[in-house]
């Protein structure tokens, strides 16, 4: 058995002097080239929004459905993905916001409605629909993505939409939701980034040709 293993081992010097070994090496190289040329096509370009969350490393979701790209190594540190949405009334006079109780640094502040992408979500759009329904008891499915914000270990995908009227929103006692005037979101109890997020959300709806943006914050 050991002799067979030794005879199958490629030796450069032996290949030069032995025609059969040389022919075997050529066939072996042709086989490798054939395997390379007939390899399966790539899944497509990887984007941070395709990575999903760290606990989705073994997710069965394909990469273009919000799951994890199978080409990533098992030890890759994947960002947590959150969604946040701004729903406007038909005239863009009011926007639906939530008064946050957690995390602690957002306590008592107004923010867009959303949350963490969960394993059962097929993609970020479905997560946005689910989170909005959970927090407001209102079913809204016409969300439009307008921004992806990348920060260390976290990704936030922002969505916008508008309803034909101001529907009743039913939040929790801990985190109440309601309609707030869009021109009054500069108040002290509003998260500072809403001062530019809300205008961007409105712009996306008023200018459908305006492309989705991506912002990377490294510190």
- H helix or E strand, kind and range, residue 149: strand 144-151
Question: Hey, what CATH topology would domain 48-216 get?
Answer: Nucleoside Triphosphate Pyrophosphohydrolase (3.90.79)
CA torsion sign for 211, 212, 215, 216 is: negative
Question: What pLDDT score does 50 carry?
Answer: 37
According to DSSP, the β-strands at 177-181 and 110-111 are: unpaired
Question: What pLDDT score does 208 carry?
Answer: 75
What is the average pLDDT across 9-38?
57
DSSP β-bridge partners for residue 97? 178
Q: Mean of the per-residue pLDDT values for the chain?
A: 74
Task: Tell me which of 208 and 37 has the higher pLDDT.
Answer: 208
Question: What pLDDT score does 152 carry?
Answer: 80
Q: What is the pLDDT of residues 197-210, one digit of tens each?
A: 999 999 999 887 77
How far apart CA 93 and CA 142 sit, in angstroms, is 19
Question: What pLDDT score does 72 carry?
Answer: 38
How far apart CA 75 and CA 103 sit, in angstroms, is 28
Structure tokens at 121: 């979500």
Question: What pLDDT score does 210 carry?
Answer: 77
DSSP β-bridge partners for residue 213? 147
Question: Can you tell me which residue has the tokens 């108040």?
Answer: 187
With beta carbons less than 8 A apart as the criterion, state whether 200 and 193 touch: no
pLDDT at 1 over 90: no
Question: What pLDDT score does 62 carry?
Answer: 33
**Alpha-carbon separation of residue 26 from 30, 180, 199 (angstroms):** 6, 74, 64
* CA 140 and chain centroid, separation: 20
DSSP β-bridge partners for residue 22? none
Task: Tell me which of 136 and 189 has the higher pLDDT.
Answer: 136
Window from 43-57, 117-131, 143-157, 183-197 with minimum mean pLDDT? 43-57
With beta carbons less than 8 A apart as the criterion, state whether 66 and 117 touch: yes
What's the pTM?
Answer: 0.64
Backbone angles phi, psi at 183, to 5 degrees: -85, 5
Q: What is the pLDDT of residues 42-82, one digit of tens each?
A: 333 333 333 333 333 323 333 333 333 444 344 345 678 99
Backbone angles phi, psi at 67, to 5 degrees: -85, -155
Q: Which 3 state secondary structure label does DSSP give 178?
A: strand
Question: What pLDDT score does 216 carry?
Answer: 67
Domain ranges of the chain: 2-37, 48-216
Window from 5-19, 165-179, 198-212 with minimum mean pLDDT? 5-19
């Amino acid at each position: 058995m050991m002799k067979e293993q030794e005879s199958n081992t490629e030796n450069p010097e032996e290949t030069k002097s032995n025609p059969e070994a040389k022919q075997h090496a050529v066939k072996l190289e042709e086989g490798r080239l054939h395997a390379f040329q007939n390899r399966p096509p790539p899944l497509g370009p990887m984007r941070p929004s395709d990575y999903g969350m760290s606990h989705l490393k073994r997710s069965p979701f394909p990469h273009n459905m919000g799951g994890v790209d199978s080409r990533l190594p098992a030890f890759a540190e994947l960002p947590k993905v959150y969604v946040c949405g701004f729903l406007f009334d038909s005239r863009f006079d009011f926007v639906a916001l939530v008064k946050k109780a957690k995390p602690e640094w957002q306590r008592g502040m107004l923010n867009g409605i959303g949350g963490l992408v969960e394993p059962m979500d097929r993609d970020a759009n479905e997560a946005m629909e689910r989170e909005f329904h959970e927090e407001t008891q209102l079913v809204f499915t016409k969300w439009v993505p307008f921004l992806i914000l990348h920060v260390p270990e976290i990704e936030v995908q922002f969505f916008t939409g508008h309803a034909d009227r101001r529907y009743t929103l039913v939040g929790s006692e801990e985190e109440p939701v309601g309609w707030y005037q869009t021109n009054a979101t500069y108040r002290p109890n509003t998260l500072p980034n809403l001062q530019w997020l809300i205008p961007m959300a409105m712009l996306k709806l008023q200018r459908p040709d305006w492309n989705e943006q991506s912002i990377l914050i490294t510190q």
